[in-house]
Structures are given as structure tokens and as C-alpha cells.
Structure 1
Amino acid sequence: MIGSGRSTIFIEDMQIGMVRSMEKLVTTRDIELFAEVSNDHNPVHLDEDYARDTIFKGRIAHGMLTAALISAVVGERLPGHGTVYLRQSMAFLAPVRPGDTVRAEVEVTAIDLGRSRVGLATRCLVGGVVVLRGDALVRAPSRA
């Protein structure tokens, strides 16, 4: 993954509008490994001949594989190590295909210092196309 590096940003240092991201090239091997881990062997992900006859006209990555990239940004970049996921909502807007580079981004939208909670806008893009959009609530690490 490519991005701004691993970090922990304490809730006391966060500001509304702060953004962190990372990029990942989604490979056929990633899709195969995700199928094994998730036990989701839907042929739209694994069989090009089958997938060619679907609305996608070819293989696509699992939506939750794309969503896992948001988890990576939350756990590694913003807030980073020590973060606890509380809630995530998302909408899948376009397919991700083997060979696509996905940029996963999170943006701080709300900060509750008293409860150590942070609201995040979440999104994934391929090129300029938003393929996933949502929001998350996390418990962020604190210096206290």
C-alpha cells in the first residue's frame, strides 16, 4: 500500500477536515485470498467466463475487500493504532476490477473529546470515480 505512512493521531490533535488515505493495486491474488478468508466464492469474483455474462461484463473484487481498505486507513493512518471501530455504513457505487488501483480516504467530520469518539466520512475511488462512500464512528486513542 502506498500513502502517508503509519501513524497514530490522538483525538486531542485532530481537526475537522483532516484527511488521510492510502492506495492499493487490487490483484487477482488479493481477490482469491479474500475469497478464501471470507468463504465467499461467488463466481462473479473468481470466474471470468461466468462474470462476462453478468451486468459487470467481467470479474469484480468483493465489495467488502474494497471496504477493508477503509479499515486499513482507520487502523493505520487516521486515527491509527489503538482505534476501535464502533460503526460503519457504506454504499457501493461502482465495481472494482482486478488491476484497479483503489484510493481509500477518511476525513474527520466530528470530534467528541469527552467520549473519545470521532466521526469520519469514508470513500474509495478508482481514478476519479467514487466506488464506495460512507461514514464511520470510531473510538480514537487519547493521550489521557
Structure 2
Amino acid sequence: MNGLEGLYLEDLEIGQSASYGKTVTETDIVMFAGLSGDTNPVHLNEDYAKTTMFEGRIAHGMLSAGFISTVLGTRLPGPGTIYLSQNLQFKAPVRIGDTVTAKVIVREIIPAKKRAILETNCYVGDRCVISGEAVVMVPSRA
């Protein structure tokens, strides 16, 4: 890949996978709040967050879910991929300093529609913090 083109539909195989990892910082959370407008104090105010079930600040779930988009748009299938749908289940909180690894696995290829169904999970260590499934449109050589 030259950075401008990803894999073609014909290059995909069931079980193929790729991942992306990022350590979540204070700056990431503040910037995400500014960009998204989600200023829920559970993300930004430690005193408030200590009174919640989380007992401290947590990162926005969609910040971690965004790392799935990184994999889809840059690695698997990569540039040229069009996101069609995504479902997510948030299973555990992510905190400042946690390294989140988004992993995408090809589960089904639908050649007639130029689509792929992908398992999309995020982990902190061995703990799954987000599980989901995405449908993407993938460029074809045909």
C-alpha cells in the first residue's frame, strides 16, 4: 500500500486482522470533549466522577470507538473503505493512561455488494472494553 490505497475486496480473507493501539491522555479527553461537545463531568471533573459508579474519571466511549475507525481507514481494509454501519457494546470503562487496542477481524465477505462484515473490538490489556461489528464497502478491482 502506498498510503493512498487500501486493500481491495479481492485481497480480503476471512480471519484477516489488523489493530491500532493508543494510550489515552488527559489531552485526548479534553480535546474530544471540545470537538464533540460532550462535556459530561464524568469525563472532565474528578470530584464529580468520584461520586459515580466509576469512582473516577473515564474516557468518552466514542473516543475509544474512534480507534476502530483508525483501523478501518488506515489498515484493514484501509484507504478507500467506506463505513456503512457499526454496532457497539461498551463493556468496561477506559481511564487516563490506559492503552486501548482496537482490533478488526474480517468475518464475512459479500462480493456482490462489495462489502465486508468485520468484528470490531477494543481492549485494555486482555480486557475487552468495547465489542461490536461493522459493515464496510470495500473498493474492488472489478
TM-score, length basis structure 2:
0.95
TM-aligned CA deviation for residue 114 of structure 1:
1.6
Letter matched to residue 25 of structure 2 = T
TM-score calculated relative to the size of structure 1: 0.94
64, 67, 73: which one aligns with 1:66: 64
Offset of 1:117 from its aligned partner? 0.2
1:140 partner letter:
V
Task: State how 1:85-124 maps to structure 2 within 5 Å.
Answer: 85-124=83-122
Q: Which residue of 1 aligns with 2:29?
A: 31
Contact 2:17 2:104 in 1 (8 A): yes
Instruction: Measure how far apart 1:67 and its partner are.
Output: 0.6
Instruction: Report the counterpart of residue 13 of structure 1 in structure 2.
Output: 11
Report sequence identity in percent: 54
Structure 1 residue runs without a partner (length 5+)? none
Consecutive unaligned residues in structure 2, runs of 5 or more: none
Q: Read off the aligned partner of 1:24 and give its amino acid letter.
A: K
Give the root-mean-square deviation of aligned CA atoms: 1.3
Runs of 4+ in 1 over 6 A off after TM superposition: none
Q: For the Cα contact (< 8 Å) 2:21–2:101, is it kept in 1?
A: yes
Given that 2:5 and 2:80 are in contact with CA atoms closer than 8 Å, whether structure 1 keeps it comes out as no
Residue 49 of structure 1, CA deviation? 1.0
Counterparts of 2:4 and 2:55, CA distance in 1: 37
1:7 CA displacement: 6.5
Partner-residue secondary structure (3-state), 2:69: helix
Q: What is the rounded CA distance, in whole Å, between the counterparts of 2:54 and 2:8 in structure 1?
A: 41
Contact 1:67-1:132 within 8 A present in 2 as well? yes
